[in-house]
Chains A and B, each alone.
Chain A
Amino acid sequence: MENLEIEGSHKNFFIPTVSFNAKTGICEISGESFLEDTVEFYKQIIEWLERYIDEVKGPIAFIVKLSYFNTSTSRSLLDILNLLKDYEDEGGEVVVNWHFDENDVDMEEDIDDYIIDTGLDINKIPY
């Protein structure tokens, strides 16, 4: 299975950098996310994860290093986390590490809300 690599940019819209590795299961998303078509962008990420879960059945370490995302993105992130939770419930090995600026209180609240929403153990890693 191919890796998923998307180079981020900060132009008219903010495209996050995506680096999902099919061998190691280390899946990192970083940068900022504010897109013209949020649903379409995250569809490819969700489809990659679904294929990985279906075919590779390996561990997943989802690493989030987003310094900013808009509310449309926040909904797509919820879809990803729900997918990972389902995988974990079926016996998959899932770790979620969420890096955030320790001064960004709003971001920490966002992570807490995802923990409440999904029931996933999300490791909050301040920097």
Chain B
Amino acid sequence: MDAQLNSNILNLYRTFGDNTPLSYKGPIDDHILQVIGTYIEGLLKHSPKAGKKVFKIFIELAQNISYYSAERSKLANNKDIGTGMVLISEQAEYYTFMTGNLVKTDDIISIIEKSEVINSLDREELREYKREQRKLPPGKKGGAHIGLIQVALTSSNPLDIEVNPVDEEHSFFSIAVKIDK
């Protein structure tokens, strides 16, 4: 056994602590979506309103990873699936839903710009922005360009975005959203 690796995973486990009911890193395909989705539905039965919001946010952000992550996994069924991280943490008054994945640095500017626009708008303006963007022709995979806008609307909180360069071509893009209980 590699003691170093084992103590690393213990540290990781402790870092997450008791208030991280869910953490996942790996390819996000439809089965994973279902397993985590069902888990969220069960976990949040005692707070249905927040639960539904966490679920909606999970679907949008997880689908973004599955479609757009720069890190890809080839599954046995030959499907090419985006890889990333999904984390839920629970505090007394709110949940935080987080995702992180690699993005090509060339693509990152437009994501940051869009996030900044979203965070600068009030609710009415955000709804108008959503209606505007939804009228555009569908994106890759039939996307509606409004996933991040919907996440901000659903959570009623700003998007907490961070970008860290990883190598010359890639950056790690992370997003955290607060959902009040």
Give B177 Cβ to nearest chain A Cβ, in Å. Answer: 14
- Min CB distance B111 to A, Å, is 16
CB of B150 within 8 A of chain A? Answer: yes
Given A12, A39, A106, A113, which contacts B131 in the complex, CB threshold below 8 Å?
Answer: A113
Q: How many residues of chain A are within 8 Å of chain B by beta carbon?
A: 23
Interface 1/0s, chain B 123-160, versus A by CB < 8 A?
00001001100110010011110110010011000000
Q: A interface, by DSSP: helix, strand, loop or mixed?
A: helix
Top-4 shortest CB links A-B: A75-B144, A39-B142, A12-B30, A12-B34
CA distance A15 to B146 in the complex (A): 21
Q: Is the CB of B134 within 8 A of A78?
A: yes
- With A74-B144, A106-B153 as contacts: A113 and B49 at CB distance below 8 Å: no
* Residues on the A chain within 8 Å of B63, using CB: 70
A/B interface sample: 21 pairs, CB < 8 A = A12-B30, A12-B33, A34-B59, A37-B142, A68-B52, A68-B55, A70-B59, A70-B60, A71-B144, A71-B147, A72-B138, A72-B143, A75-B134, A76-B142, A78-B134, A104-B52, A106-B56, A106-B153, A109-B153, A113-B127, A116-B131
Across the interface, which residues of A come within 8 angstroms of B144, CB to CB?
71-72, 74-75
Q: Which residue of A lies closest to B48 (CB)?
A: A103
Residue A5 CB within 8 A of the other chain:
no
B31 at the interface (CB under 8 A from A): yes
Chain A residues 58 to 100 lying within 8 A of chain B, measured CB to CB, are 68, 70-72, 74-76, 78
Which of B's residues lie within 8 Å of A, judged by CB?
A: 30-31, 33-34, 49, 52-53, 55-56, 59-60, 63, 127, 130-131, 134-135, 138, 141-144, 146-147, 150, 153-154
Note all chain B residues with C-beta closer than 8 A to A12: 30-31, 33-34
Contacts of B146 in A (CB 8 A): 71, 74-75
Give every chain B residue within 8 A of A72 (Cβ-Cβ).
Answer: 138, 141-144
B142 touches A11 (CB 8 A): no
Closest residue of chain A to B136 (Cβ to Cβ) is A75
B59 touches A11 (CB 8 A): no
Q: Tell me which of B31, B52, B53, B150 contacts A71 (CB under 8 A).
A: B150
Q: A12-B30, A12-B33 are in contact. List 13 more A-B contacts (CB 8 A).
A: A11-B34, A34-B59, A39-B142, A71-B134, A71-B146, A72-B138, A72-B141, A74-B144, A106-B153, A106-B154, A109-B127, A113-B127, A117-B134
A84 to B147, CA, bound (A): 25
Chain B residues lying within 8 Å of A117, measured Cβ to Cβ, are 131, 134-135
The answer to whether A47 has its CB under 8 Å from any CB of chain B is no
- Report the separation of the CA atoms of residues A117 and B63 in the bound assembly, to the nearest whole angstrom: 25
